[in-house]
Amino acid sequence: MTATRTATDSRTAQVAPLIPREVLFGNPTRSGGQISPDGRWLSWLAPVNGVMNIWIAPADRPEAARSITAATERPIRQHFWSPDARSVLYIQDKGGDENFLLYAIDVASGQERNLTPFERTRVTIVGTSESRKDRILVGLNNRDARFHDVHLLNLNTGELTLVLENNSFTGFLADDNLDLRMAVRPNAAGGNDFFPIVNNQVAQTPSESTTLEDALTTSPAGFTTDGRTMYWIDSRGRNTAALIAQDVASGERRVIAQNERADIGGVLAHPRTGEIQAYSFTYLKPEWTAIDPKIGASLAFLRERLPGQFGVQSRTEDDTRWIVWNDPVTAPTKAYLYDRRARTLTEFYTSRPELSGAPLQPMHAFEIPARDGLILPSYLTLPPGSDRDGDGRPDKPVPMVMVVHGGPWARDGYGYNATHQWLANRGYAVLAVNFRGSTGFGKEFINAGNLQWGRKMHDDLIDAMNWAVERGVAQRDRVAIMGGSYGGYAALAGLTFTPETFACGVSIVGPSNLETLLKSIPPYWEPIISQFHNRMGNPNTPEGLQLIREASPLHKADRIVRPLLIGQGANDPRVAQAESDQIVSAMQAKNIPVTYVLFPDEGHGFARPVNNIAFNAVTENFLGSCLGGRAEPIGAALEPSSAQIVTGADYVRGLREVARN
């Protein structure tokens, strides 16, 4: 094992005050602001007795705010208005099991109802309507956990009416009349087949298909309200996904937008007509382009007044008022009320006002070349005081933490990032790399990651680390690797496949054995299991089984020589607790030190702020021991959490004194 560093080894951040964990990872003051479709109400999430709940206020009297939910343990993390503006809706699971149910609060009476009162059920929203405002289409897997049957839900009475019993499809598309128009099903080629639906009868043969190469970059994106135009995000015949409009009657298609470097990522559609008015793509930073001139004028108005990044998060149905988020990166995120007619912009709230004046650091975007020439879009944040000329290169090399995103079919992006700010404040450079397999950069970039878990995907991280060292960003012997989900796997892979490359690793809900991971996926993922097999390795073939065994850190656990910290939620339906248990057991069998923190009331990640803060308290003191950065003492951070220190309290500074098993 490497020698323990002292906290005085890293001096670049000593001039900056330590930002408390509670400020970075505790509850925001407000978040998720929405405006009701009729414009009469504002809503947002804010704490009630330390737990995030839904609040509302009349739009003309924001000071008359009141909470309308009473969550006491698990925070409500998102909400949305019913189309008729009579109720506020949210989904919630239990202890992180991801069996999400749909709840509604009647605005007039305050009555809360569970609209999907079933056990072991996960609800999906299939369709909403501009013309049938009191109803939505939902998918429920209470009959068969693998498939979601489609039901028509009356939001005001709670009545559920079966529309289509589903025994093979993974998704559906509906029009504004809430009529099902298309069903999606995986095919033998590793892609998807798209089946027309007429009168709730699914066609026997598909009208559209994709193969594996387009499976993650091609999908229907909805209809206009009149049902005459169908939109697609489509990479067929091109590398990056374009925005396509298809005339339903003739089948004729036209390209609305495309970009050579990135997939079309976001759109603004008119609340009433459904016609797309603007689109965005994100290569290094988000870029919006307006199709509608009036929308273009509004975006220009906002661009002149808001520093950094901004976006539209809620609109009235007459499109006269918006709620706009603004991310300056080096200041706390704000939300604004934008009156398009009056051309006024009024601050709604500051999400984390405690960060005002804090030493938040800029994020730098870079293109890093991999060894085979593939370009890896990446983001770097440096410690305060380390980069006096602001060129993204510190005055001298500093310790570094590589933070690897999950998925792996996801991506890192530009903007305020609490993890980056936290680690930079502690004295580390923070590097986030979009390795091959990440989404948003075209299908060739995604498919370059097929069958490359622990291989070229891992090589990309090593190449990025070497780039940072050679550029003078990082000290080679003081680089940690850290992440959640696939990022947790990457941390385990880093310490097993390249055991002396990283100084230490932090794995959060990371799979250690790809064979057991694929056997324990949630039942509603079973219909898409071929996607996993095609991109990871098929355990039903000798070659595929060998591939995933070779890529599994568990089988090389005896090679670990660097400190390892593991965090796990006991109720995780994606990466079961056994994934962490088995690598910890393998290390203990070889007398290899490991620290393992288990949260009995969490799932795939830590939703409760007290749990997140507790694990981060352990993490920053673990990193301080390995890399020499600063750390706020653990103190009482574990007391309000459910954290159980299963093993390894002696390997983290200050943990033994506060640990409980």
Say if CB 93 and CB 76 are below 8 A apart. no
Q: Are strands 229-234 and 219-223 parallel, antiparallel or unpaired?
A: antiparallel
Distance between CA 466 and CA 468 in Å, rounded? 5
The CA-atom distances, in angstroms, between 474 and each of 169, 211, 380, 497 are 48, 41, 11, 21
Say if CB 186 and CB 234 are below 8 A apart. no
From 87, 572, 601, 642, the catalytic residue: 572
From 298, 386, 438, 485, the catalytic residue: 485
Q: Give residue 156's identity as a one-letter amino acid code.
A: N
Distance between CA 581 and CA 598 in Å, rounded? 10
Question: Please, what is the angle between helix 456-470 and helix 486-497, to 10°?
Answer: 80
572 among known catalytic residues: yes
604 among known catalytic residues: yes
Say if CB 140 and CB 147 are below 8 A apart. no
Phi, psi of 224 (to 5 degrees): -70, 160
Q: In 10 A of CB 519, how many CB atoms?
A: 11
From 148, 151, 364, 604, the catalytic residue: 604
The DSSP bridge partners found for residue 401 are: 430, 480
Say if CB 646 and CB 594 are below 8 A apart. no
Say if CB 267 and CB 279 are below 8 A apart. yes
Distance between CA 387 and CA 12 in Å, rounded? 9
Instruction: Scan for tokens 């559609």, then name that residue.
Output: 269
308: left (phi over 0), alpha (psi -120 to 50) or beta: left
Say if CB 565 and CB 614 are below 8 A apart. no
Phi, psi of 314 (to 5 degrees): -165, 145
Active site residues: 485, 572, 604
